[in-house]
Structures are given as C-alpha cells and as structure tokens.
Structure 1
Amino acid sequence: MNLTWLEDFLALARTGNFSRAASERHMTQPAFSRRVRALEEWLGVALFDRATHPVTLTETGQWFQSVAQDMLTRVARVPDEARAVADASSATLRFASTHALSFTFLPAWLRGLESGSPVGPIQLVSDVMQQCEALMLQGRVQFLLCHWHAQVPGRLDPSAYRSVKVGSDSLVPVSSPGKNGKARHLLSTSNKQVPLLAYSSESGLGRIVRALRSGAIEKSGSEPVFTAHLASVLKTMALDGRGVAWLPLSLIDKELASGRLVAAGGPEWSIELDIRLFRSEAAVPPAAENFWRKVAGAPA
C-alpha cells in the first residue's frame, strides 16, 4: 500500500467528487480514480458508493476514514519520535531563544555557567517568540530562553512546561534625543500623539507591550508608523529619530549611557521583566537533565 492512497481516500471522502478531489491532489481524474481503486483492491472492500451523487462512504469506508487519519497522524510523528530516540544518548543541548536575548544575554549567561565546568555542545535556533514556542511544542528543542511577565501568559501550558528565572530585564520606551538632549518624542497621556515603532504579532516583546501598555497608548492617541518583529530593527529606527520604541535595557544600555537614546517617558511606562528558561515536563536526555539541574541551582 502507498501512503498517498490514504490522502487520496480522505480527499474524496471530504469532497464527494472525483473531479474536485483529483484537482486537490494535483492529478488527472483517471489517475486519481485508479489510485482509489487500487486502495480498495488492496483492502479487498468497496470504500465508496459510486451510485450516489455526490459519492458517499460505505459503512466500511466510514470505519476506514478514522483509520486512515490515525495512520497518517502516526506516520507524521515518526520523525520526531526517531529524533527523540536518537536524543536519548545525545550530549547536544538544543535551544530556542528569542533574537534579542540571543545577541545580548545568552553569551554572557553561558559563559557564567561554564566557569565551573563545560556546558557541552549547543545547537541554537534564534527566532521570534511565536516560532520559538512552536519549536518547544513540537519537541524540536529542549529549552526556550525568553523574556517573561506574570501577567502575559504564553502558549506553553504551565502544567506541561516548567521554567526557572535566570535573569532580569526591563522594557524601556526610548527615543533619539533632540537638540536640547531630551527625548525627541515623549510619551504622554494628554493626547499628545507620538510616532510609535511597534512590534509585529509574532514578537513576544510586542505581546507584552500590547497586554500591559495598550490602554495608555490608546489614551495618548499615538499610532504605529513602523512595525517589525526584531527589537534590533526597532532600535535602529529609534536611533534614526523615527519614533518611540519599547526596547530591552539589555539591548540599549550602551546607547543610553552615551546619550544616543533617551527615555521617552517616566518610570510608569517601563515594564520589568524576567528572563526565563523553559523546559518540558517530559523526560529529556541525561545531558539536558544535568544542564537543567545546573541552571536551577544557579543564582538568577
């Protein structure tokens, strides 16, 4: 049996029309019909009642529909399960980290952990928060390093994923300075509009800003003039005088110290954040388990 026959069967079961199902499967109707017939001959039963319009599933076909879906689902899981078996003896630590922390926090944090003993080989995927969460949910990485706020839940269910605080950071609204050295664009709640440099929906930092400061932003009447998913891009635009961006202090400490960026609002506009390392409650290879114990026992 060819697994593509199962996809053909499900397409026809869904559409009830040979021509439409053949089009979905990107083949001619005669070729599609031959493949459906080949599946029925392999099973030794009729799966469709061709006398009806649209065609309908026979009683056996109705039973086989759930079987076919289950078989394809199980096959789709095989690569991840194979990787899990291979990982059981693997010493490589697989990380997902948001872009901002990959460039700022991660190198020094790892260096600190390695001061006592080597951490071992690391494979890092640096991406936006939404994709990093997807990698964790798919089991493609063992650890996720990200910014976190207690009032802004992510996609990782706390009952299935645990985390430990490994650092602190702040989201600070900043702007380039004007001629007087003060913020070129200053946030206010008095309907004084300022141009905003906003995060896209894929960004974890954007998720936090929207959840905790959208009300104040709406009250100020300010609107985004530029949107991106990377904090480093928004930093460049802020340095160019394009508007106000909420940026991690870890990313802009040098620019604040030199005066190239200045606070664009009072302390009430800033957001205090944890930097957290997440892992699944499921079993991980010994190297990953040892690393977790080391991190959990280290001061944040």
Structure 2
Amino acid sequence: MNLSWLEDFLALAASGNFSRAAEERNMTQPAFSRRIRALEEWLGVDLFDRSSQPARLTPAGDWFRPQAEELLARVARLPGEARAVSEANAATLRLAATHALSFSFVPGWLQSLEAHTARGPIRLVSDVLERCEALLAQRQVQFVVAHAPAAGRGELDAQGVPSVAIGADMLLPVHAPGAPERALLGFSDESGLGRIVRQTLGPELAAAGLLPVFTAHLASVLKSMALEARGLAWLPHSLVREELEKGRLRIAGPGHWQIAVEIRLYRDPGPLGAYAEAFWQAAAA
C-alpha cells in the first residue's frame, strides 16, 4: 500500500469529483482513478459509490476516512518523535526566533544565559512567526522566541504551549520628519508583530483613515521605509532605539497607540534532552 493513496482518497472524499481531485493531486484523471482502484483492491472493499455524481463514500469509505486521516497524521509525527529520541542526549539546541528579535534581542539574551547553563552549540533559525510556530509544531526546533501581547495571549499561548517571559518591549508608531501623515507601512499576515497591531488597534486605525501604502513581513524592511519618510510604521523599540535618540524617527499618534509587548520563550511541550531542559530552567529563572 502506498501512503500517497491515502492522500488521493481524502482528496476525492472531500469533493466527490474525480477530475477536481485529480487536478488537486497533480495527475491525470485516468491515473488518479487507477490509484483509487488500487487502494480499494488492497483493502478488498469499494470506498466510493460511483453510480452518483458527485461520487459518495460507501459505508466502508465512511469508516476508512478517519483511519486514513489518523494514519497520515501518525506518519507526519514520526520524524519529530524520532528526533526526540535522538536528542535525548544531544547537546545542540534548536532555536527559532522572529527576524526582529534575532537581530536585536537574541544574541545578548543568549550571552546572559551562559553563566547559568552549560555551553553548547546552538542552531538558530530566523523566520516569520507563522513559520516559527510551524517548526515548533513539527518538532524541528525545541524553542521559539517571539513577541506576544503583554495584556493578552498569542497564538501559541492559546494552544497551551508552555512559555516564559524573558523580556519586554514596546511597539511604537514611528515616522521620519516630513513623512505623509496617513500613509501606513504595515506588516503582512505572516508577521507576529502585525498580528499584535491588528488585534490591538485594527478597527481604530481603519477609522483614523490610515491607508496602507506598503506591506512587508520584516520589521527591518519597514524600518528602512520609515527612515525614507515613506509613512508610519509600528516597530519594536528595541529595533529603533538609536534612530529615536538621534531624531531620525519620531513617535506619532496618541499614547495608547504605543503597545506594550512581552518577549516570550516557547518550548516544545514534550520531553526534551537534559541540555535543553537545563536551558529551559535557566531561562525561566
């Protein structure tokens, strides 16, 4: 039995349309139909009633659908579980951090922990929050460093992922002298900072007439645009401290537009190796 047959089956079960499912699976309809038939022959039962359009699941197909979903989910978990076994005695930390924190916060924070935990190799992945969350869910990293609302809960918190606050920051609305007042330099949907701004001020900013003129998922890109007087951007104070001190950027808007945020360390909720557990304890302390 080929595991890809299960994905074929679920695609057809979702639509009941052989042509649409074949297109979704990037193959011709005859080839797709042969794979469905091969799965049925392997099981020894018909999974679809082909006498109606769209094709409907037979009672055996209804039973098999959750089995296929669980089988694929189980296979998807195997690499992470294998890594967990392998890393039980591993001395390499796998850490993901959002782009802004990778540059402005993580290096100094890691150095501050060196006196409280054993030193060892660290592999850092810098990416948008959405990707960092996926890496943690797939157990490709053990920890994630990200901003989170100080007065609320982020996506990982809502999922019950263990975390500890390791720092504080502010999201500040900043612009360069002479920048257009209503031009908004915004974060794309993948950005964790963008999530916080939209969650906290989204309706108010729309009512204030701010018009998006540029979007990006990197705070560093928005900072460059803000310095060129292209508009207003919400950026971490840790990233623009020097520019504010030198007057190259200024804080705009009412005081409540300044959003208090935490910097949080999230961890894989499963068991970690001794080195990673010691790192977690040092960070929590």
The alignment's TM-score, normalised by the length of structure 2, stands at 0.85
1:246 equivalent to 2:234? Answer yes
Q: Deviations over 1:144-195 (max 9, x none)?
A: 1112223342211457322222112122222223xxxxxx359xxxxxx532
The correspondence for 1:275, drawn from 245, 263, 278, is 263
Moved more, 73-82 or 56-65: 56-65
| Contact 2:171 2:237 (8 Å CA) reproduced | yes
Q: CA deviation at 1:202?
A: 1.7
1:220 corresponds to 2:208: yes
Aligned to 1:197: 185
Find the aligned partners of 2:34 and 2:212 in 1 and give their Cα distance: 56
Shift in alpha-carbon separation, 1:64–1:213, aligned structure 2, 3 A:
closer
Question: Which structure 2 residue ranges, 5 or more long, are not aligned?
Answer: none
Name the stretch that deviates more: 214-223 or 71-80: 214-223
Q: One-letter code of the match for 1:228?
A: A
Q: What amino acid is aligned across from residue 143 of structure 1 in structure 2?
A: F
Match of 1:231 in 2: 219
Q: Which has the larger radius of gyration?
A: 1
Query: Which residue of the partner structure matches residue 180 of structure 1?
Result: none
Shift of 1:98: 1.0
Q: Are the counterparts in 1 of residues 97 and 144 from structure 2 also a CA contact under 8 Å?
A: yes
Structure-1 separation of matches of 2:10 and 2:208: 53
The secondary structure found in structure 2 opposite 1:156 is helix
Alignment of 1:122-271 (within 5 A): 122-157=122-157, 160-177=160-177, 184-185=178-179, 193-265=181-253, 267-271=255-259
1:189 is matched with none
Deviates more, 1:259-268 or 1:127-136: 259-268
Cα drift, residue 12 of structure 1:
4.6
Paired letter, 1:146? A
Separation in 2, partners of 1:78, 1:12: 25
Contact 2:116 2:282 in 1 (8 A): no
Q: Distance in 2 between matches of 1:23 and 1:218?
A: 40
TM-score relative to the length of structure 1 = 0.81
Whether contact under 8 Å (1:172, 1:270) holds in the other structure is: yes
What is the Cα deviation at residue 65 of structure 1?
A: 3.4
- SS of corresponding position for 2:89: coil
Deviation at 1:47, TM superposition (A): 4.2
Q: Choose 61-70 or 118-127, whichever is displaced more.
A: 61-70
The residue that corresponds to 1:53 in the other structure is 52
Pair 265,69 (structure 1): closer, same or farther in 2 beyond 3 Å: closer
- The corresponding residue for 2:75 is 75
Contact 1:172 1:246 in 2 (8 A): yes
1:272 to 1:60, Cα distance in 2 relative to 1, 3 A: closer
- Residues 199 and 229 of structure 1 are in contact (CA less than 8 Å); yes or no, is this contact kept in structure 2? yes
User: 2:279 is matched with which residue: 291, 295, 298?
Assistant: 291
What is the deviation of 1:16? 4.7
The question of whether the paired residues in 2 share the 8 Å contact of 1:160 and 1:280 is answered with no
RMSD: 2.8
The percent of aligned pairs where both chains have the same amino acid is: 57
Cα pair 2:117 2:282 within 8 Å, conserved: no
On the 8 A contact 2:172/2:259 being kept in 1, the answer is yes
Give the drift of 1:241.
Answer: 1.0
Deviation of the 1:236 alpha carbon: 0.6
Deviation at 1:59, TM superposition (A): 3.9
State which drifts further: 73-82 or 95-104.
Answer: 73-82
- Give yes or no for contact 2:77–2:138 (8 Å, CA) kept in 1: no
| Maintained 8 Å contact 2:117/2:279 | no
Q: How far off is 1:15 after superposition?
A: 4.9
The total of aligned residue pairs comes to 284
Match of 1:190 in 2: none
Q: CA 1:53–1:150 in 2, change beyond 3 Å: closer, same or farther?
A: same
Cα distance in 2 for partners of 1:17, 1:244 equals 48
Question: Conserved in 2, the CA contact under 8 Å of 1:166 and 1:275?
Answer: yes
Q: CA deviation at 1:250?
A: 0.9
